[in-house]
């Protein structure tokens, strides 16, 4: 991802009032968020520069339960290194789409789901994978938790993807028990086993 920065030269003192500052923020935040999303390819490589071997693809997955709530399954880290996930991009996109010139618009109470596919080396790796509910606003999350319908699960696994294969992160979020795993994109069969489960 590359970002272009514009140098702005200030030619005088300008101290905006709090109302004007808030108004400016409503303009600026969506532009920043949209720019970041536009610059972030949904197909993202996490391959070290020195690696020249075979690769595989792991996609992240999710679906909406209602306009303001969804289930999302993603990779939090690879070999203990945090990576950009669908959860991160969904939060950013939702904030961006929810802001309007007059404040929060009705669309601010809807999720804007974004998904990432990671190109990875076809070699053993430690993955931290997460399955969770995500809500458009904190109040929606609190309401779901109070009703006992907001779930979270994480697994740490050792996974060895095969050359040129496509996988996806999936799982289940249920009151009876939640789980998250890696599945083959072609067969949809589970191909990972938990190393530890929380």
pLDDT of residue 112: 84
Cα–Cα dist 173/151, whole Å? 6
Can you give the residue ranges of every domain in the chain?
38-197
Q: Which of 15-24, 56-65, 80-89, 159-168 comes out lowest in average pLDDT? A: 15-24
Band (pLDDT 50/70/90 cuts) for residue 153 is very high
pTM recorded for the entire structure: 0.73
Identify the band that residue 94 occupies on the pLDDT scale cut at 50, 70 and 90: confident
Task: Work out the pLDDT band at 49, boundaries 50, 70, 90.
Answer: confident
Q: What region, left, alpha or beta, does residue 108 occupy, with left being phi > 0 and alpha being psi -120 to 50 degrees? A: alpha
Residue 156 has pLDDT above 80, yes or no: yes
pLDDT at residue 22 above 70? no
Q: What is the CA radius of gyration of the chain?
A: 20
Distance CA 111, CA 96 (A): 11
Q: Is the pLDDT of residue 46 over 50?
A: yes
Distance CA 49, CA 36 (A): 23
The confidence score (pLDDT) of residue 96 equals: 72
Percent of the chain with pLDDT over 90: 53
Residue 131 clears pLDDT 50, i.e. is over it: yes
- Range of lowest pLDDT (46-50, 100-104, 168-172): 100-104
Least confident piece of the model among 19-33, 60-74, 158-172: 19-33
Q: Which residue has the higher pLDDT, 74 or 110?
A: 74
Q: Alpha carbon 144 to chain centroid distance?
A: 20
């Amino acid at each position: 991802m590359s970002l272009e920065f514009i140098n702005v030269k200030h030619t005088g003192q300008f101290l905006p009032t709090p109302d004007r500052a808030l108004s400016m923020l409503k303009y600026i935040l969506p532009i920043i968020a949209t720019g970041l999303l536009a610059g972030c390819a949904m197909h993202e490589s996490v391959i070290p520069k020195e690696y020249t071997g075979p690769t595989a693809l792991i996609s992240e997955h999710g679906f909406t339960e209602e306009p303001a709530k969804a289930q999302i399954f993603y990779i939090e880290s690879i070999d203990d290194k945090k990576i950009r996930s669908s959860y991160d991009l969904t939060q950013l996109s939702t904030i961006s789409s929810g802001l309007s010139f007059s404040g929060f618009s009705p669309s601010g109470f809807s999720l804007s789901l974004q998904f990432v596919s990671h190109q990875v080396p076809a070699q053993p790796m430690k993955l931290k994978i997460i399955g969770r509910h995500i809500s458009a606003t904190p109040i929606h999350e609190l309401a779901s938790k109070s009703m006992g319908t907001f779930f979270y699960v994480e697994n740490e696994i050792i996974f060895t993807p095969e050359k040129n294969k496509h996988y996806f992160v999936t799982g289940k979020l249920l009151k009876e028990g939640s789980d998250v795993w890696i599945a083959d994109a072609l067969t949809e069969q589970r191909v990972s086993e938990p190393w530890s489960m929380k």
